[in-house]
Amino acid sequence: DSGVTQTPKHLITATGQRVTLRCSPRSGDLSVYWYQQSLDQGLQFLIQYYNGEERAKGNILERFSAQQFPDLHSELNLSSLELGDSALYFCASSVRMSSGANVLTFGAGSRLTVL
C-alpha cells in the first residue's frame, strides 16, 4: 500500500457520460498529480495541484477538469466521454526533496472503460 488511495478501481460507462475519479494523497503530501496511461500514448501528465491551487497543466482535454479540496483530496472529472478516453488514470502525491526534486508516490490507478 503506497498511501495514495484511488477510487473506484474499475469503472465501465458509456460514451457521452460523465465520471468522477477520486484520490486521497499520502498523509502530509500537499501536491496531487493526475496521469493518464493508455497503450498508444503511454503515461501522459494531465494536471497538478498544490495545496488547493492548480500548479501545472499538461495534456488535459477541455472535457476534463480537476480540483483539490481543503482536505487535500482531489477529484478528476471526465465528461462527454469518448471511446478513446478508456485508460488507466493514476493519481500521485509528492514530497519535495532538499535537492528540489519532487518524488512521486502513485496510487493503484482507476481503470476506465468507455463502451
Partner 1 sequence: AQSVTQLDSHVSVSEGTPVLLRCNYSSSYSPSLFWYVQHPNKGLQLLLKYTSAATLVKGINGFEAEFKKSETSFHLTKPSAHMSDAAEYFCVVSDPGYSTLTFGKGTMLLVSP
Q: Which of 50, 72, 78, 87 binds partner 1 (CB under 8 A)?
A: 50
**Under rule CB under 8 A, residue 3 binds partner 1:** no
Least Å distance, CB 78 to partner 1, is: 19
Residue 93 is a binding residue for partner 1 (CB under 8 A)? no
103 belongs to the binding site for partner 1 (CB under 8 A): yes
For the chain, the residue count is 115
Q: Is the dihedral of CA 21, 7, 27, 107 positive or negative?
A: negative
Where along the sequence are the contacts to partner 1 (CB under 8 A)? 2, 4, 31, 33, 35, 42-43, 45, 48, 50, 55-56, 58, 90, 92, 97, 99-109
